[in-house]
A and B are shown apart, each in its own frame.
Chain A
Amino acid sequence: MACVGLQSFPVDVEVDVADRGFPAFNIVGLPDKAVGEARERVRTALVNCGFAFPQKKITINLAPADIPKEGSAYDLPIAIGILVANEDIVLKEKGLFFGELSLDGSLRHTRGALLLALFAKKVEMIRIFVPVESANEAAIVEGLEVIPVRGLKNLVEHLRFVKRIPYLKTINIKKLIETAQPEFDMAEIVGQETAKRALMVAAAGGHNILMSGPPGAGKTMLSRALPGIMPTLSVEETMEITRIYSSAGLMQPGEAVIRRRPFRSPHHSISLAGLIGGGSRPVPGEVSLAHLGVLFLDEMAEFPRSVLEAMRQPMEDGKVEISRVAGRMVYPASFQLVAAVNPCPCGYLGHPKHECRCTTRDVERYKRRISGPILDRIDLHINVPAVEAEKIIGNAEKGESSLVIREKVMKAREKQLKRLTGTGIFCNREMKNKQVKEFCRLDSGGVRILRLSMEKFDLSTRAYFRVLKVARTIADLEGSDDIQSVHLAEALQYREKVF
């Protein structure tokens, strides 16, 4: 099986052992370096497992010939093919073979096991042989016989019916997700009630959020806790995330699925290709790795402008299209953006005790680094002030734990889902203007407040719709069917220009 992006194609590994000419070992079918080096791995592994490596002219053909093959997963099928050609074993069962060999003949964790399993299911090839460390990934697919292979020797014994390897039971993903605890608990964060509230709103409506505050205020901590208060993953979502991680080779050995919503925080030195995805054979970037999770941009103003601007399309569409010579690839990239910034280069603008050392020009220039269109796509803007000493030292009351908040968030999401059925979208952030008009009706008090504030703060049309969306989410959180003036007032707070 070959992968192009998240698509898979079957690859036949044909092995020919010819009894004339000089001994040779050639692989054809557009192998990349890793596939080509399978020669040495297979040869050594076979010899070290006690099999004779034929001194004959061996030709491996990876068909279809015109799709580039990459990765190390072809080691095992090649080795099996040689063993069969050498009449060491007789294949009596059908199956897909997959895995990287190490020199002693044992199998290594190989990326893409889940994609293989999904593919096997599609073509109704029930049995697959995968390295034991990658087998859990494949075992989440129902209706397959996933045979975890420790090494070449075990596999040969299995195929010779000497000692059969039992296949894995299908892993119940649901249980795995439900037992996953949030990595960071909101209750551990001191103070910052406003920010916590805003994060809850963000989680409930899927809104993007921008936090501005001095260094050390807890912006990073807060954002790390966000995945924990977002709704628990559904089985489909888990599969989608795991597919991306499996194809990118980011699964830990033995890991079955990604159980928590991803949290990605790329450093601001990231390149455009690193964020969006790229390469001559495109690999997923950070926006895709944060799919259905959180993309956290710390010090957002330090990111190169071009990189930030490139995020616009994925933020709108929930996917990225990467076009290269080798092909066009579409990766999902539906993430929630959390951006953290300092209010000025030194970080202390507006701090109650610390003096800001920046000139007005410095501040101006700093703020210009993030363009309007990007800021416009962020629904919630909040200030995260420094925490007062009393709260840190004293036994400040612990806030709500992530699990409690998550309950509320999930209730709000349920309301949204019910309302949005049939529209093809799933949360308030995604609402188009038409839906905003339909679902975000205001009472007379609300209309008055909104008119006043529009005049006073000079809100743009787009801002107007965003305020309404956020107000809708807040109303959902409160369990209210219509938007009341309190909800609207709170939403207007998150419009305050903080950066």
Chain B
Amino acid sequence: MTGNRGEDIATEYLWKKGYKIIERNFRTRFGEIDIVCRDGQTLVFVEVKTKIGHDFGEPEEMVNKSKIVKVKRMGEVYLQDKGLDVSCRVDVVAIVIENSWSVEKIEHYQAVY
């Protein structure tokens, strides 16, 4: 619910930024990548973190190292799956939405780790 809404917002945001969206919710048995897109030549795996309100901290604080490592590993799986060998990176999009479903804050972190 919140998550889906956030991912929609993030997709739109990235698309507006000029990223080419390739796939959403790439899923395997081991995990998931929220958005796979392309920034120029670079393949970008995006983890979206959405929260309602600022209680208990910002959304970006909720993405820890192990989560990023997980996304990275999933990225490798994706590359294998599609038989690609290109430069790539992991981004995080952190979104805060209000009760009324409107976006209060959106933050894009490139090349985390």
Contact = CB atoms under 8 A, between A and B. Distances in A.
B14 interface: no
Interface in A2-20: 19-20
B85 A20 contact: yes
B49 interface: no
Nearest to B42: A55
A23 interface: yes
B24 interface: no
Q: How large is the interface on B (under 10, 10 to 19, 20 to 34, 35 or more residues)?
A: 10 to 19
Nearest to B110: A55
Contacts of A20: 85-88
A22 B113 CA distance: 10
B67 to A, nearest CB: 15
Contacts, number: 24
Interface in B69-113: 72, 75-76, 79, 85-90, 111, 113
Interface residues of A, number: 8
B111 A55 contact: yes
A158 B87 CA distance: 33
A21 B88 contact: yes
A56 interface: yes
B74 to A, nearest CB: 11
Contacts of A21: 79, 85, 87-88
Dominant secondary structure of chain A at its interface with chain B: loop
B28 to A, nearest CB: 18
A19 B111 CA distance: 15
Contacts of B75: 22
Q: Determine which residue in B72, B75, B87 has the highest number of CB atoms from chain A within 10 A of its CB, and name it.
A: B87
B89 A22 contact: yes
A237 B87 CA distance: 56
Contacts of A57: 87
Nearest to B84: A20
B84 to A, nearest CB: 9
Contacts of B113: 23
Interface string A12-42: 0000000111110000000000000000000
A20 B89 CA distance: 10
Interface string A48-73: 00000001110000000000000000
B48 to A, nearest CB: 19
A22 B72 contact: yes
Nearest to B90: A22
**Residue from the set A55, A56, A57 with the largest chain B CB neighbour count within 10 Å:** A55
Given A22-B76, A22-B88, 12 more contacts: A19-B87, A20-B86, A20-B87, A21-B79, A21-B87, A21-B88, A22-B75, A22-B89, A22-B90, A23-B89, A23-B111, A57-B87
Interface of B: 72, 75-76, 79, 85-90, 111, 113
Of all A-B residue pairs in the complex, the 9 with the closest CB atoms, nearest first, are: A20-B85, A20-B87, A19-B87, A55-B111, A20-B86, A22-B88, A23-B89, A22-B72, A23-B111
11 contacts: A20-B85, A20-B87, A21-B85, A21-B87, A22-B76, A22-B90, A23-B87, A23-B89, A55-B89, A55-B111, A56-B87
